[in-house]
């Protein structure tokens, strides 16, 4: 694995260095562009406590891999340097709902327990920051960006219905909760210019935010079973995206 | 220009289809577990609060959970002294295993209730409390106050009240129902 990584790195360095000088003279990739707008989408893979599914662990966030999509726009102040704005939506799957059902089944010693998610784990992000484009050939360039801004996140909740001796009891509910916080995203992309006005980018980004959720629980009449009133764990991971970009005012 | 529109529309449609496909509720059910041993025995052990040597007890045994065979009531009579007050401890058995600690651990949704037959001069009050907010009675320990000479039936029921315990006997289901005879001499 290390050998493959080292090989790929070496090839990349060779391509970059050999094309860098040539790229200085090219027009298509390095020509002045005022404004680029793009639609982006791909997979989001979070990590850490947010993805744990242990019923007894209050830090478990029960989030799985998901997707993200958004609109990105870069205004080039200089030839290669610009300001990027990204408005995106991140959605993470809910994993471990069976653990929730099993946990309440055991905690209340009932015949059966049924768990259903409420809302979903997701966030809406408005981020802004510097971007840098490094052309390596007439068609290819490496784009870098570091973004920061506002993240409005939602933590999914659930309803659990307990059934015992043929009696179905009212649902115990953990409401979905919202929190707004600071967030950041940083990454790089390989850009390929399809035409003079269209390009595709293969992005890899690290994202991070740490919202502080206050959780409302409903119909908790007994001190039994999982009950958290606060969740303050980082939502961090990797995005792998494909972006379709459109150039305005390319000369 | 037309080519641009096609590229843009295709991308937007693909994203919308992807988004709608991924937004669904997750659901799971934990089904009943087989082989749950039924409760078979209830023991009442009383201690006179003013005379520690006065320790009457009674047991009610039902080994057949279907109820086809009658329960063993050989030792189901509790003899109390007139005007005496007793601390009573309830013990539950599951064939041979003592289940009392398990009930204690699940105190927040269990409650013992007492139904005293008309004519029997006995009052029963639970003395232990669970950790709910506010704390509610459990009934593993109780205070029995014997009145005038009398005798009659005492029905003791263990109620299972998952997330519906409110201090009354009404919610939930009954895990065990035991019938004793109480004689006040």
Give the number of other CB atoms < 10 A from CB of residue B95: 11
| Token pair in block for residue A61 | 């966030």
Pairing of strands A172-174, A217-218: antiparallel
DSSP character for B148?
S
Give the number of other CB atoms < 10 A from CB of residue A77: 12
Q: What is the pLDDT of residue A108?
A: 94
Distance between CA B185 and CA B85 in Å, rounded? Answer: 13
CA distance A1 to chain B (A): 33
Residue A251 has pLDDT above 60, yes or no: no
Of A106 and A26, the structure prediction assigns the larger pLDDT to A106
Determine the residue among B29, B160, B168, B175 to mutate to test chain A binding: the one whose Cβ has the most chain A Cβ atoms within 10 Å: B29
User: What phi, psi does A88 have (nearest 5°)?
Assistant: -140, 160
Determine the residue among B22, B25, B26 to mutate to test chain A binding: the one whose Cβ has the most chain A Cβ atoms within 10 Å: B26
Give residue-wise pLDDT tens across range A48-79: 999 999 999 999 999 999 999 999 999 999 98
DSSP string spanning B135-146? --B--SEEEEEE
Contact between chains at A170 and B133 (C-beta distance less than 8 A): no
Residues A201-224, mean pLDDT to the nearest whole number: 96
Pairing of strands B77-80, B173-184: parallel
Contact between chains at B30 and A104 (C-beta distance less than 8 A): yes
Contact between chains at A101 and B109 (C-beta distance less than 8 A): no
User: What phi, psi does B18 have (nearest 5°)?
Assistant: -60, -45
Q: What is the pLDDT of residue B129?
A: 97
Contact between chains at A221 and B165 (C-beta distance less than 8 A): yes
User: Which CATH number characterizes residue A16's domain?
Assistant: 2.40.160.20
Phi-psi region of B20 (alpha: psi -120 to 50; beta: other; left: phi over 0): alpha
What are the residue boundaries of the structural domains of chain B, listed by start?
41-184
Stretch (H or E) spanning A105: helix A97-107
Mean per-residue pLDDT over chain B, rounded: 89
Distance between CA A39 and CA A165 in Å, rounded? Answer: 54
Give residue-wise pLDDT tens across range B64-89: 877 788 899 999 999 999 999 999 99
Cα angle for residues A173, A178, A182 (degrees, 5° grid): 150
- Residue whose pair of structure tokens reads 């320990």 in the numeric block: B141
Architecture, CATH, for domain B41-184: Sandwich (2.60)
Q: Percentage of residues in chain A with pLDDT exceeding 70? A: 86
Distance between CA A51 and CA A64 in Å, rounded? Answer: 6
Residue A212 has pLDDT above 80, yes or no: yes
Residues B143-158, mean pLDDT to the nearest whole number: 97
Task: Identify the weakest region by mean pLDDT among A15-29, A141-155, B36-50, B57-71.
Answer: A15-29
Q: What is the pLDDT of residue B163?
A: 93
CA distance A225 to chain B (A): 9
How many structural domains are present in chain A? Answer: 1
Residue A11 has pLDDT above 90, yes or no: no
Which of B135, B134, B139, B37 minimizes the C-alpha distance to B87? B139
CA distance B69 to chain A (A): 22
Residue A5 has pLDDT above 60, yes or no: no
Residues B102-112, mean pLDDT to the nearest whole number: 95
| Helix, strand, coil abundance in chain A, percent, nearest 5 | 15, 55, 30
Give me the interface pTM, i.e. the ipTM: 0.82
Of A1 and B183, the structure prediction assigns the larger pLDDT to B183
Give residue-wise pLDDT tens across range A135-164: 999 899 999 999 999 999 999 999 999 999
What band does A16 get if pLDDT is binned at 50, 70 and 90? very low
Give residue-wise pLDDT tens across range A74-109: 999 998 999 999 999 999 999 999 999 999 999 999
Q: What is the pLDDT of residue A79?
A: 87
Residue A10 has pLDDT above 50, yes or no: no
For A237, counting Cβ atoms within 10 Å of its Cβ (0-12 exposed, 13-18 middle, 19+ buried), the class is: buried
What band does A14 get if pLDDT is binned at 50, 70 and 90? very low
Which of A226, A17, A193, A203 minimizes the C-alpha distance to A105? A226
| Token pair in block for residue A183 | 């967030």
Contact between chains at A222 and B165 (C-beta distance less than 8 A): yes
- Tell me if residue B2 falls in helix, strand or coil: helix
**Quick check: A196 and A138 in contact, CB under 8 A?**
no
Show which residues on chain A lie within 8 Å of chain B, measured between beta carbons: 39, 41, 66-67, 69, 91, 93-94, 97-98, 100-102, 104-106, 108-117, 120, 162, 164-165, 167, 169-170, 172, 197-198, 219-225, 244, 246
Phi-psi region of B118 (alpha: psi -120 to 50; beta: other; left: phi over 0): beta
Q: Report chain B residues whose CB lies below 8 A from the CB of A170.
A: 163-164
- Compare CB distances from A113 to B18, B30, B131 and report the shortest one's residue: B30
Quote the domain boundaries for residue A195: 2-248
Which of B76, B84, B72, B73 minimizes the C-alpha distance to B44? B76
Contact between chains at B30 and A66 (C-beta distance less than 8 A): no
Mean per-residue pLDDT over chain A, rounded: 88
Q: What is the pLDDT of residue A57?
A: 97
């Amino acid at each position: 694995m290390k050998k493959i990584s080292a090989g790929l790195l070496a090839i990349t360095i060779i391509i970059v260095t050999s094309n860098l000088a040539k790229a200085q003279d090219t027009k298509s990739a390095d020509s002045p562009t005022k404004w680029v707008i793009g639609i982006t989408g791909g997979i989001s893979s979070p990590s850490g406590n947010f993805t744990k599914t242990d019923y007894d662990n209050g830090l478990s966030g029960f989030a799985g891999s998901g997707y993200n999509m958004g609109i990105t726009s870069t205004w080039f102040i200089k030839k290669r340097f610009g300001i990027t704005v990204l408005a995106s939506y991140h959605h993470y799957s809910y994993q471990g709902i069976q653990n929730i059902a099993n946990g309440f089944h055991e905690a209340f010693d009932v015949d059966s327990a049924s768990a259903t998610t409420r809302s979903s784990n997701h966030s809406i992000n408005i981020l802004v920051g510097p971007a840098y484009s490094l052309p390596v050939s007439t068609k290819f360039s490496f784009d870098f960006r570091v973004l920061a801004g506002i993240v409005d996140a939602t933590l999914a909740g659930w309803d659990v219905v307990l059934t015992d001796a043929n009696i179905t009891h009212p649902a115990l509910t953990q409401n979905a909760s919202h929190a707004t916080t600071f967030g950041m995203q940083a990454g790089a992309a390989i850009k390929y210019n399809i035409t003079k006005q269209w390009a595709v980018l293969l992005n890899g980004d690290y994202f991070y935010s740490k919202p502080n959720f206050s959780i409302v629980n409903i119909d908790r009449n007994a001190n039994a079973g999982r009950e958290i009133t606060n969740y303050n764990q980082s939502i961090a991971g990797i995005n792998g995206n494909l972006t379709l970009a459109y150039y305005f005012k390319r000369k | 220009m037309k080519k641009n529109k096609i590229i843009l529309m295709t991308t937007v449609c693909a994203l919308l289809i992807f988004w709608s496909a991924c937004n669904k509720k997750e659901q799971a059910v934990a089904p009943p577990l087989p082989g749950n041993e039924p409760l078979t025995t209830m023991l009442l052990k009383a201690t006179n609060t003013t005379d520690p040597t006065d320790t009457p007890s009674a047991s009610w045994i039902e080994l057949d959970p279907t109820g086809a065979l009658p329960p063993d009531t050989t030792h189901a009579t509790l003899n109390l002294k007139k005007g005496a007050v007793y601390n009573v401890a309830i013990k539950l058995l599951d064939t041979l295993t003592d289940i009392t600690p398990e009930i204690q651990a699940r105190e927040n949704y269990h409650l013992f209730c007492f139904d005293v037959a008309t004519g029997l001069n006995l009052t029963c009050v639970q003395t232990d409390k669970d950790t709910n907010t506010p704390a509610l009675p459990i009934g593993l320990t109780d205070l029995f106050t014997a009145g005038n000479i009398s005798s009659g039936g005492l029905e003791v029921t263990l109620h299972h009240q998952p997330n519906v315990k409110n201090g009354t006997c009404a919610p939930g289901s009954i895990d065990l129902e035991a019938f004793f005879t109480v004689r006040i001499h």
